[in-house]
Structures are given as structure tokens and as C-alpha cells.
Amino acid sequence: AQTVTQSQPEMSVQEAETVTLSCTYDTSESDYYLFWYKQPPSRQMILVIRQEAYKQQNATENRFSVNFQKAAKSFSLKISDSQLGDAAMYFCAYTSGTASKLTFGTGTRLQVTL
């Protein structure tokens, strides 16, 4: 079975600084997608960024970028120029196949301080 591991339960970053959240996964599949979701206190699940395993280029979305290391099965999220609104739980997730079933990590709570 696929597993997703987030080893940092909590992280803290100062406003305008950069922070990296870690995620590792285990799979025997060759094609799959990885995602980072943001969950603010409202509990809404917000897609931050996605990466297809076959694409070597790391995905970027404005201040958010990933470092995808397929051989190491690592998928970290970098948030640049952190803002107070970035404070939330961040979940790493994995899916393969056509049924859009997601396997989530346990999450990292990000605090942003002034």
C-alpha cells in the first residue's frame, strides 16, 4: 500500500521568510501525482500545487514551489515570502490510477509570526 509521511508536525516561519515542508512517500507505481493541500482553520481543503511523477520539472505556483526527487521519493513544499495568510495545516497527498483516490500524510501545522 502507498504511504505518505510528513515528519514535521509543526513549523514556524517569520513573515517574508522562506520555509520548506517535507514529505516522503512510498509507492511501486511508475505514474502518479503528488499534491500539497492547505487547510486553514475553516477546514476547507485548498489545492496549493500538484506534480506529475513523469515530469522532471518542479511545479511552481506563485510563491509556492516543490522539490520533487523521484528516486528518493521526496516531495517538499517551499513557501517563499511567507504571509500571515499562509498559516494553516498543510497536507501532502498521493494518487495513482484513474479513481482519484488520495492517500494523505498526517499534516504539518505552519505558524507565521511577525
**Smallest gap from residue 31 Cβ to another protein (A):** 7
**Shortest Å, Cβ 58 to another protein:** 16
Alpha-carbon span 93 to 82, nearest angstrom = 22
> What is the grid cell recorded at 28?
511501486
Give the H or E element holding residue 66: strand 64-69
Query: Quick one: 98 or 114, whose CB is closer to another protein?
Result: 98
* Closer residue to another protein, CB minimum distance, 33 or 80: 33
How far is it, in rounded angstroms, from Cα 84 to Cα 78? Answer: 15
Q: Which residues bind another protein (CB under 8 A)?
A: 4, 31-33, 42-45, 47, 50, 52, 91, 93, 95-107
Smallest gap from Cβ 97 to another protein, in A, equals 7
Quickly tell me which residue has 514529505 as its cell: 23
Do the bridges between strand 46-52 and strand 74-79 make them parallel or antiparallel, or are there none, so unpaired?
A: unpaired
Of the pair 26, 81, the CB lying nearest another protein is at 26
> What does the block give as the cell for 34?
503528488
Q: Which residue, 42 or 114, has its beta carbon nearer to another protein?
A: 42
